[in-house]
Amino acid sequence: MSIIETLTIAIKNAVKQLYLVDSETNQIQVQKTKKEIKGDYTINVFPLLKISKLSPEQTAIELGNYIIKNNEFSDNYNIIKGFLNIEIKKEFWTNFLNYNYTKETYGEIENNNQDVMIEYSSPNTNKPLHLGHIRNNLLGFSISEIKKAAGNNVKKVNLVNDRGIHICKSMLAWQKFGNGETPETNNIKGDKLVGNYYVKFDKEYKKQIEELTNKGIEKEIAEKTAPIILEAQNMLLKWEAKDAEIYSLWEKMNSWVYKGFDVTYKNLGVNFDKIYYESQTYLLGKELVKKGLNEGVLFKKDDGSVWADLTSDGLDQKLLLRADGTSVYMTQDIGTAHQRFAEFKIDNHIYVVGNEQIYHFQVLKLILKKLGYQWADNIYHLSYGMVELPEGKMKSREGTVVDADDLIAEMISTAREKSLELGKLDGYSEAEKENVYKIIALGALKYFILKVDPKKGMMFNPKESIDFNGNTGPFIQYAYARIKSILRKAEELKIDINNISGSEFNEKELNLIKNFYDFTEIILNSSNNNNPAIVANYIYDLVKEFNQFYHDYPILKEENVEIRNNRLVIVKFTGTIIKNGMKLLGIEVPERM
């Protein structure tokens, strides 16, 4: 049980004993004391004044005295403007450190028997993964690791959008302009090759629209009647009818893309427990839509299209089946959600999808509820802001996206340049250097993206992300490598750290120990808010605190053996938490650097 939980119970007991009233949990507000104020935890007594019928000062005095008298963890308090600041005994922090510093998995919380499914990546098979996909994948993977550490059973899944008009666009363009090109004939990743034809389609489409508008046809009509878009729509109908030629082409081009995706996922260090394919789930969605239509939950328009009327809920009408019987994204999402809840009996389902789809998930949950599925309340959309580069926005159709593989290669190259410039890897073999370059590069990329609150849009600057100073991955990685170096030297000197000595810790050491204590609470907070930035910025603050301690106090050169050993324990525990925290972000930390 955390101190905050213990204090909350202590205050409830105090209120009951002092004022003979049961207080509500939301009336008890406990938080960490601000750095500039003496104390460890602050209790806001104002919500309790109606119960105590005393002044804020007197209420705080009575509560403070009760806590000190009836609990062993505190021996002092102070009051500032009605806020009760509790000081935790030094013995508590010493015992905490001694009990936990050898735990390699410190921070992990015992299983809570909650089954959580997290969908991320969800690429289209008409283009390679790009910078936007990188943020999606890194968020999904990190939240999965954080949820696991917080005690949940986690299932990581990917839904590949492998069908639809956008897929047919790439297929049609390859059919028209490809001349039999394959990944092997041009030595190109399959996802990149297919993506090139998606761009080719768009160029041809725009060219045809321009030709039609030059003949006096309105642009809106030209967009609907351009020959190439009509061919793509016809191809989609053939695909749904399982036309042998079209289906074979679809399977061939998708297989190229999957091989390409696998390479990128491996390079990024992300994985999945199960991969779903829209082509295998959309039919179930169509069945559920037809069932809803038969039950009068949905309605059909004169042209034969099927809709959900959500106007009474403050939304609009939503298309679920087109007039020609083909399905839309919403249709397959209905089918996929139903399949997953039935298949895994999950408690919660998190979709990691960009914030442009907020409305989509509002509609999805509402339609599922109208169809009678109460588990729809357990769907959560982890929406995130878009990633931009200093050059501006990216557009897939126009081929102006930053390819994920190219970005990773660029990051490794930049890590190589920086490391050589700073001489950080002198004495390493070439193979060792290349491995560290990759660890630094991916650490820089992942940390720079994950340190930002997912809800916020962000500007990604590759060179800024790989700086060895400031709030960056390499800055944290270097601190970890320094810690490992200290511990190796201690081992060479045959220094044995078995337990904490009787000597007292100074203020900076105590601040570090208090930071260590917060790690479990940070994991829970990050999990509850679906926000890896909470972990990322905690680790950064811890490293800053450690670096100040390292700068101000000798460790191996400390002459007092007890103080030296205590400091080595602090060094060791700092390293454990950095490693565990960065692991939650999907980031490796090098032993040497």
80 shares its domain with 131: no
259-311: pLDDT as tens digits: 999 999 999 999 999 999 998 888 899 999 999 999 999 999 999 999 999 99
354 shares its domain with 433: no
400-430: pLDDT as tens digits: 568 899 889 989 998 888 888 777 777 788 8
* CA-to-CA dists, residue 155 to 333, 335, 344, angstroms: 18, 18, 9
DSSP character string of 223-269: HHH-HHHHHHHHHHHHHHTT-HHHHHHHHHHHHHHHHHHHHHHHHHT
* CA-to-CA dists, residue 570 to 98, 469, 478, angstroms: 10, 23, 17
What domain range includes position 7?
A: 3-88
Residue type, 94: T
In a domain, 100, yes or no: no
In a domain, 339, yes or no: yes
216 shares its domain with 353: yes
81 shares its domain with 140: no
Examine the fold and report which residue of 333, 353, 388 is the final residue of a domain before the chain moves on. 388
Query: With bands split at pLDDT 50, 70 and 90, how would you rate the model's confidence at 399?
Result: very low
The domain spanning residue 54 has which CATH number?
Answer: 3.30.1360.70
365 shares its domain with 438: no
Q: Please say if the pLDDT value at position 358 is more than 90.
A: yes
Average pLDDT in the 443-450 region?
Answer: 96
What are the helix and strand counts (H, E) for the chain?
21, 14
* CA-to-CA dists, residue 515 to 447, 483, 539, angstroms: 20, 17, 10
Average pLDDT in the 6-20 region?
Answer: 93
For residues 148 and 326, give the distance between their C-alpha atoms in angstroms, rounded to a whole number.
39
Average pLDDT taken over every residue of the chain: 93
The domain spanning residue 314 has which CATH number?
Answer: 3.40.50.620
In a domain, 78, yes or no: yes
334 shares its domain with 268: yes
Compute the radius of gyration of the chain from its Cα atoms: 29
542 shares its domain with 439: yes
306 shares its domain with 435: no
Query: With bands split at pLDDT 50, 70 and 90, how would you rate the model's confidence at 397?
Result: very low
How many C-beta neighbours within 10 Å does residue 368 have? Answer: 22
* CA-to-CA dists, residue 513 to 32, 92, 203, 361, 552, angstroms: 14, 10, 60, 43, 16
Q: Which H or E run contains 353?
A: strand 348-354
442 shares its domain with 377: no
Q: Please say if the pLDDT value at position 217 is more than 90.
A: yes
In a domain, 591, yes or no: no
269 shares its domain with 167: yes
In a domain, 150, yes or no: yes
Q: Please say if the pLDDT value at position 592 is more than 90.
A: no
379 shares its domain with 447: no
CA-wise closest residue to 378 among 388, 369, 390, 370: 369
In angstroms, how far apart are the furthest CA atoms of the chain? Answer: 91
Query: With bands split at pLDDT 50, 70 and 90, how would you rate the model's confidence at 326?
Result: confident
The domain spanning residue 571 has which CATH number?
Answer: 1.10.730.10
Give the 3-state secondary structure of residue 262: helix
529-554: pLDDT as tens digits: 999 999 999 999 999 999 999 999 99
pLDDT, position 20: 92
Number of domains in the chain: 3
pLDDT, position 391: 67
For the chain, the distance separating the N- and C-terminal CA atoms, rounded to the nearest angstrom, is 38
Examine the fold and report which residue of 339, 359, 388 is the final residue of a domain before the chain moves on. 388
Q: Please say if the pLDDT value at position 520 is more than 50.
A: yes
For residues 575 and 252, give the distance between their C-alpha atoms in angstroms, rounded to a whole number.
48
Query: With bands split at pLDDT 50, 70 and 90, how would you rate the model's confidence at 439?
Result: very high
For residues 132 and 490, give the distance between their C-alpha atoms in angstroms, rounded to a whole number.
44
How many C-beta neighbours within 10 Å does residue 521 have? Answer: 17
In a domain, 589, yes or no: no
Highest mean pLDDT among 316-325, 402-411, 520-529: 520-529
348 shares its domain with 254: yes
Average pLDDT in the 485-497 region?
Answer: 93
In a domain, 102, yes or no: no
In a domain, 578, yes or no: yes
The tokens describing 131, both together, are 């910078």
CA-CA-CA-CA torsion for 463, 464, 466, 468, nearest 10 degrees? 130
Q: Please say if the pLDDT value at position 460 is more than 90.
A: no
Examine the fold and report which residue of 66, 88, 110 is the final residue of a domain before the chain moves on. 88
Q: Tokens 């904490």 — which residue?
A: 500
CA-wise closest residue to 265 among 120, 372, 396: 120
Q: Please say if the pLDDT value at position 468 is more than 60.
A: yes
